[in-house]
Amino acid sequence: MRQAFNFYRSYWDVAKELNDKDRLAFYDALLTRQFTGEETELKGLVKFAYLSQKHSIDKQIKGYEDKTKRPLQYPSQDPTQGGTQGPSVQEKEKGKEKGYIPSKDEFIAFALEKMPDVLKEAVGLKYESWVVNDWSINRKGKMSKIVNWKSSLINTLTYLPKDESKKEKRYEDMTDGEQIAYNMRKRELEYANKTR
């Protein structure tokens, strides 16, 4: 089910020209079309005002339908009852919802995507500490709820320990065999770059 749409300035400009009763009918028709996909039968100036914006309205609906890969329609069941179908297309956007708590695997995967050399176990412990603290973190001495977990995690990653096995060794710290392999690889890359 559609949750929002862009209310264009042109909708407001046209509506300002109508009297209160017609303006309400215009807004009602606009909202009904945007949220349910249903057309409202209009007459007189309201119909003229609506038709002047129909191209924009239809274009927005087409954009929504193309994005979600399904037609815009009003739910056929009572909205107070639970759904009978699986998660909606908007489920993909759940990580962006405020207050959403990801699974531990999703949390770790996101951290490793943003900072591949962070210690995986440290990220797991950070997740567990946030869960134990009721999805809250200490900000300036007081606990506050995490609203955007991705942003909070990105800000935390720099303070977590790094996975030393993923860290590139300094040349001086390499064994003789590692130095030989390093030098050979370096020459291969230099040769490849010269022949291009």
DSSP 63-94: HHHHHHTS-----SS-TTSPPSS---GGGGGG
User: In one letter, which amino acid is 30?
Assistant: L
Asked whether the predicted pLDDT for residue 29 surpasses 90, the reply is: yes
- State the Cα–Cα distance between residues 18 and 45, nearest whole angstrom: 8
Phi, psi (5° rounding) for residue 139?
-120, 110
Q: Which of 125, 126, 146 is nearest to 135 (CA)?
A: 146
Q: Which of 41 and 192 is assigned the larger pLDDT?
A: 41
Q: 37-46, 126-135, 177-186: which range is least confident on average?
A: 177-186
Asked whether the predicted pLDDT for residue 73 surpasses 60, the reply is: yes
- State the Cα–Cα distance between residues 56 and 47, nearest whole angstrom: 15
| Average confidence (pLDDT) over 98-125 | 89
pLDDT of 166: 63
Residue 139 confidence class, pLDDT cut points 50, 70, 90: confident
pTM above threshold 0.85: no
| Average confidence (pLDDT) over 26-51 | 90
Q: Per residue in 147-173, pLDDT tens?
A: 899 988 999 998 998 877 766 667 777
Asked whether the predicted pLDDT for residue 89 surpasses 50, the reply is: no
Asked whether the predicted pLDDT for residue 87 surpasses 70, the reply is: no
* Tally of CB atoms within 10 A around 43: 9
What rounded mean pLDDT belongs to the chain? 83
Asked whether the predicted pLDDT for residue 125 surpasses 90, the reply is: yes
